[in-house]
C-alpha cells in the first residue's frame, strides 16, 4: 500500500448511517471515516470522492425502488419538506433524507457544499465528483420541454497540513453522467492513469454494501482498457478495498487477479466475458 499515490472512494450509502442531530455533525462524522484512509495510505496525494448522482438514476429504477418503499413503509409527508428543513447546520432529519429524492440529493452534495469547512490537515487534493454542479443546459428553470443533456462537473479542493482548506476550482474538463458511484470510480482511474509513474499504484475504496458490484466493474473495465507491458501484464497495479461492518475489510489486487485468470484461461481478453 506504500505505492498508492491516488485513490478513489465510493461515498454513496455511508452517509445514510449517520446518527447525528444536525448537519454540522455530518462533517465530523465523515472526517472520522476519512481519517483511517489517510492514515493507511501514507503517500496519498489525491483522493477522489465519488458520490451517487440521483439525477442520472434511470426512471424505471426509481419507480421500482419507490414501489418497494411504499409497500414497506407507512405514509409520510417527508416529500413536502424543503431541502433546508431536511439538513442544515442545525438540523439532520434522517427519515426525510432517506425516503425522498430531494433528501438523497441534499445529503449527497452536503459534503462538497461545505468542503471549506472540512478540517483535513494533510497536504492533499480532493476531487468531489457529485451532482452539486450541473452544466450543459441554458434553459430557464422549470422548462418542461428542455432536452439538454446535462452533466456533472467535479469540484477540486486543495488542503494543506498548515492551514487545512486552501482553495477550490471547477474541473470543467470532466463531464460525468454516470449515476452509480462505483462506475464513476472506474472513470476516474482512467483519468488519473497518465499521472502515475512506474512503481506507483491506485486504489478504489468502497464503503457501501455494493462490494461485489465494484469488483466486477473493475475486472471488466481493466481487462479491456488498462495499459499493459509487452508481456501482457499490467503496468500499474490497481486495488479495490472493500470496507465491511465491524471494521472488517477485504483487499483485492484486481490487476493481479486478471493476470492469474488470463494465464489460466490462456486468453487475454476473456476473463470477464467467457462463461464457464
- Core vs surface per residue 22-44: b (16+ CB within 10 A) or e: ebbebbebbeebbeebbeebeeb
Does residue 275 sit within a domain?
no
Q: What is the mean pLDDT of each run of 10 residues along the chain (276 residues)?
A: 86 60 54 64 89 73 46 44 52 65 80 85 90 85 76 94 92 85 92 90 82 87 93 93 79 93 74 45
Q: What pLDDT does residue 240 have? A: 94
Q: What pLDDT does residue 36 have? A: 62
**Looking at the 3D structure of the chain, how many domains does it have?**
1
Does residue 276 sit within a domain?
no
Pairing of β 201-206 and β 238-244: parallel
Does residue 55 sit within a domain?
yes
Scan for cell 473495465, then name that residue: 221
Does residue 250 sit within a domain?
yes
Q: Is-above-0.85 flag for pTM?
A: no
Does residue 273 sit within a domain?
no
The three cell numbers of residue 120 are 483535513
Does residue 270 sit within a domain?
no
Does residue 170 sit within a domain?
yes
Range of the domain at 195: 4-265
Scan for cell 481478453, then name that residue: 269
44 forms beta bridges with none
Does residue 205 sit within a domain?
yes
Amino acid at each position: 500500500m506504500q505505492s498508492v499515490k491516488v485513490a478513489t472512494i465510493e461515498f454513496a450509502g455511508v452517509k445514510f448511517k449517520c446518527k447525528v442531530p444536525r448537519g454540522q455533525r455530518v462533517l465530523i462524522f465523515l472526517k472520522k471515516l476519512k481519517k483511517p484512509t489517510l492514515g493507511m495510505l501514507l503517500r496519498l496525494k489525491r483522493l477522489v470522492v465519488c458520490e451517487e448522482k440521483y439525477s442520472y438514476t434511470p426512471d424505471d429504477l426509481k419507480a421500482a425502488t419507490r414501489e418497494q418503499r411504499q409497500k414497506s413503509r407507512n405514509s409520510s409527508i417527508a416529500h413536502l419538506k424543503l431541502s433546508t428543513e431536511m439538513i442544515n447546520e442545525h438540523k439532520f432529519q434522517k427519515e426525510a433524507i432517506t425516503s425522498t429524492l430531494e433528501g438523497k440529493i441534499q445529503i449527497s452534495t452536503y459534503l462538497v457544499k461545505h468542503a471549506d469547512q472540512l478540517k483535513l490537515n494533510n497536504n492533499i487534493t480532493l476531487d468531489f465528483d457529485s451532482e452539486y454542479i450541473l452544466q450543459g443546459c441554458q434553459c430557464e428553470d422549470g422548462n418542461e420541454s428542455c432536452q439538454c443533456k446535462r452533466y456533472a462537473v467535479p469540484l477540486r479542493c486543495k488542503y494543506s497540513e498548515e492551514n487545512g482548506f486552501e482553495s477550490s476550482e471547477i474541473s470543467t474538463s470532466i463531464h460525468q453522467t454516470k449515476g452509480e458511484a462505483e462506475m464513476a470510480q472506474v472513470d476516474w482511474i482512467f483519468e488519473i492513469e497518465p499521472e502515475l509513474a512506474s512503481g506507483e499504484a491506485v486504489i478504489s475504496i468502497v464503503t457501501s454494501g455494493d462490494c461485489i458490484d465494484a469488483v466486477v466493474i473493475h475486472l471488466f473495465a481493466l481487462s479491456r482498457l488498462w495499459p499493459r507491458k509487452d508481456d501482457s501484464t499490467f503496468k500499474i497495479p490497481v486495488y479495490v478495498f472493500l470496507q465491511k461492518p465491524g471494521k472488517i475489510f477485504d483487499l483485492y489486487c484486481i490487476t493481479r487477479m486478471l493476470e492469474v485468470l488470463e494465464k489460466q484461461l490462456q486468453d487475454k481478453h476473456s476473463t470477464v466475458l467467457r462463461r464457464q
